[in-house]
Amino acid sequence: MAGVDNLNDYYDVTLKKARLEQLQKLPGFSFILTSLEDREAMENVFSSYQPTIVINLAAQAGVRYSLSNPYAYIDSNIVGFLNVLEGCRHHGVEHLIYASSSSVYGANTKMPFSVHDNVDHPVSLYAATKKANELMAHTYSHLYGLPTTGLRFFTVYGPWGRPDMALFIFTKAILEGRPIKVFNYGRMKRDFTYIDDIVEGIVRLLDKKPEPNHSWDSANPDPATSSAPYRLYNIGNNQPVELNRFIAVLEAALGREAQKEYLPLQAGDVPETYADIDDLFVAVGFRPTTTLEEGISKFVAWYKDFYGVK
């Protein structure tokens, strides 16, 4: 088993290295320090390790960061993903599972978001690159018979999470007595999904290689399937939560009240996300079950332990 990461400084490298230390305790785990966009290095990874299954969770993430640093998204999410696809193509990979995002739903207003709906109107460059990944994966499924499964994650949170996510930012600010910025006046909703549920969904899909949909109709195409071995799934909690309630649960877990600075919806954000996960349940019999209270409580306990907060 091998892992690839460039440990870039998009956020605290100390946190990334601490995560890596946990992985390096696993027997048989190898780590390769490189970037997906390094074509020669990625070819060496595939040649050396000859993986049968590839899980690509690497990407330049974040909607807001894409407003100021667009090239980082093209380099990592487009060029890097192409190198992954080429490695899979030339080295006989049996199944590629890759992270897409709920952001691809963009301007869609039909709820809950379904993988069977069209998603041609992204509202951020980040979302556009993840939609492009789905299109690129389909091309390789169609041309080369590479089984690909795209997973649209919905607002993942939990221990070891990214410091640029709301839960991390809010927790740090509240503990330090600083105000938090509450966009869309706290009225936007997110389908917050605990990390363990994301992992469970991925693990269950490892051996669920997509098969061609022989009833697929090009005159009335289903975006979630194909005549090629290609599949898309949502992984979300299926329970959108208003941001104000999210903050209230966090305040309860911390035992402190937040100072709130209410602001309008920020460019690139969407007012609501809500995952239709029926296809995931049919495929592998799984629905996320972690409640918001349980998930936030576990995050707060990890945060205090990791940063030595009393």
Exposed, middle or buried: residue 284 (CB in 10 Å: 0-12, 13-18, 19+)?
middle
Distances (CA, A) of 136 to 66, 86, 88, 149, 286: 20, 11, 13, 12, 27
User: Which of the residues are catalytic?
Assistant: 126
Mean pLDDT of the chain: 95
Distances (CA, A) of 175 to 179, 185, 225, 260: 10, 21, 46, 13
CB-based contact 138:85 (threshold 8 Å): no
Mean pLDDT of 297-307: 97
Per-domain residue ranges of the chain: 2-307
Distances (CA, A) of 156 to 116, 134, 211: 22, 19, 28
pLDDT in tens, 8-49: 999 999 999 999 999 999 999 999 999 999 999 999 999 999
pLDDT in tens, 89-99: 999 999 999 99
CB-based contact 210:229 (threshold 8 Å): yes
Distances (CA, A) of 82 to 25, 86, 241: 30, 6, 35
Asked if residue 155 has pLDDT above 80, the reply is yes
Comparing 28-37, 59-68, 107-116, 222-231, the range with the smallest average pLDDT is 59-68
Separation between Cα atoms, residue 57 and residue 38, nearest integer Å: 16
Residue 261 phi/psi, 5-degree rounding, is -110, 105
Distances (CA, A) of 141 to 3, 88, 218, 247, 262: 23, 11, 16, 42, 46
Q: What is the pTM of this model?
A: 0.95
Cis peptide before 112 (omega within 30 of 0): yes
CATH number (3.40.190.10, 3.40.50.720, 3.90.870.10, 3.40.50.300) of 2-307 reads: 3.40.50.720
Residue 194 pairs with which residues in a beta bridge? 157
Mean pLDDT of 144-149: 98
Asked if residue 215 has pLDDT above 90, the reply is yes
CB-based contact 258:174 (threshold 8 Å): yes
